[in-house]
Amino acid sequence: MNNSGLEGVGIYKVWGIGSRDWRRKRGMRRASEARRAEREGEEEARMNADERGRAEDAVEGAGVDMAGAKLTIRLIGMTPNAVDVVYSACRQCYSPAFAGDEFRPDASVQGMKKKEALIRKVVASGHESPLEHVSMTFAIRGISRSCSLQLVRHRLASYSQQSQRYVNMEDFGYVIPPTIEGDKELREMFVATMEDIRQKYHRIVRALNGKGMKGELANQDARFILPEASETKIVVTMNCREMLHFFSVRCCNRAQWEIRRLANEMLRVCKEKLPSIFGEEAGAKCQKLGYCPEGPKNTCGKYSLKEELMR
Ligand SMILES: Cc1cc2nc3c(=O)[nH]c(=O)nc-3n(C[C@H](O)[C@H](O)[C@H](O)COP(=O)(O)OP(=O)(O)OC[C@H]3O[C@@H](n4cnc5c(N)ncnc54)[C@H](O)[C@@H]3O)c2cc1C
């Protein structure tokens, strides 16, 4: 599948700190990233490695090595012939014909326009079950554990998350909230806390290793001190109906900033890939409702409250 242009990159950074031991690993990581970039010919991967290198080099003198990585989402899979599949499902509801015959992959402009028009009409009417036949799979990195906890609350989806048991977390990156990033004193305290946790994690792993517990046996207990800020990587698959629901609650200004940013990036990719499903009304629920259901205390003010419209 050609994924060009289907990748979203957020604007905030994930940081990791290194000292001597980690500096060696950092060198290995940079080398392996460079090899990967060469192997796959991925200009983007090379730029990430270079950017990270620059960030690390910039603070070397301060004795704090930072490894920055951006929020990255990549569409790695999607139901083939998605428009045809949804169209056939829609037609099956209203047609005496058989969906197996209706399903004719037709990429002509005329054919696509006809199908997309029907899909738009059906989505606008709130008849969303045909959308369940198409799924999208995203690989996500550069989000905090805290964000992933919110993500996995969405039950009608499938997840595969990097394990803190099978993967040693001594080199963990972390997300700094913008409010803390923008305050020198808070940022210093935050970074120092992360470094402290890293060193203690390292000590616990070594101590458990000394008691004969290696690999996952040590990692699974040492991870108890890791912060919610620590970076995670996750693969998520949602069908399009669930995606619309996810966007309706997580693109809302009331949602927490990190998951909102993630949702907005995913929405951008969905709009690009399937505009007939993720049209103008896709996004925060107010966009479809035309009013804000959050009440006077929580509304962001972008739309009128329901009670104001009812007056
Ligand atoms: C602003 C905000 C604040 C939040 N604050 C909190 C909080 O303080 N504490 C907290 O615990 N959570 C909180 N959440 C999480 C929230 O309660 C939901 O767990 C989360 O948004 C997942 O949404 P969902 O259950 O609608 O969606 P999904 O799990 O994605 O399900 C989609 C839809 O399927 C249906 N569905 C799924 N499972 C069932 C079921 N078992 N029974 C019936 N219908 C089902 C529902 O219609 C549901 O809306 C918050 C979410 C937001 C956006």
- In this structure, the number of other CB atoms found within 10 A of the CB of residue 147 comes to 25
Tell me which residue of 55, 63, 60 sits closest to 14, measured CA to CA.
55
pLDDT at 102: 65
Tell me which residue of 288, 266, 304, 299 sits closest to 124, measured CA to CA.
288
Name the residue with the closest Cα to ligand 1, atom 23: 154
pLDDT at 111: 83
pLDDT at 13: 52
Asked if residue 154 has its Cβ within 6 Å of ligand 1, the reply is yes
Name the residue with the closest Cα to ligand 1, atom 27: 154
Amino acid at 302: K
Contact residues for 40 (Cβ-Cβ < 8 A; gap 6+): none
Confidence of residue 70 (pLDDT cuts 50, 70, 90): confident
pLDDT at 8: 54
DSSP at 173: -
Asked if residue 152 has its Cβ within 6 Å of ligand 1, the reply is no
- Ligand 1 atom nearest the C-alpha of 155 is 29
Q: Report the pLDDT averaged over residues 20-47.
A: 47
- Phi, psi dihedral angles at 293 (to 5 degrees): -90, 5
Ligand 1 pocket: which of 153, 159, 247 to mutate (most atoms <8 Å of CB)? Answer: 153
Residue 40 has pLDDT above 70, yes or no: no
Q: How far is CA 175 from CA 30, 46, 74, in A?
A: 20, 22, 19
DSSP at 132: G
Asked if residue 300 has its Cβ within 6 Å of ligand 1, the reply is no
Name the residue with the closest Cα to ligand 1, atom 26: 154
Asked if residue 306 has its Cβ within 6 Å of ligand 1, the reply is no
pLDDT at 63: 26
Ligand 1 centre to CA of 220 (Å) is 29
Q: Report the pLDDT averaged over residues 68-95.
A: 89
Ligand 1 centre to CA of 155 (Å) is 8
Helix (H) or strand (E) holding 141, with range, is strand 135-144
Which tokens hold the place of 219? Answer: 């990692």
Tens-place pLDDT, residues 111-122: 889 999 999 999
Residue 46 has pLDDT above 90, yes or no: no
Ligand 1 centre to CA of 153 (Å) is 7
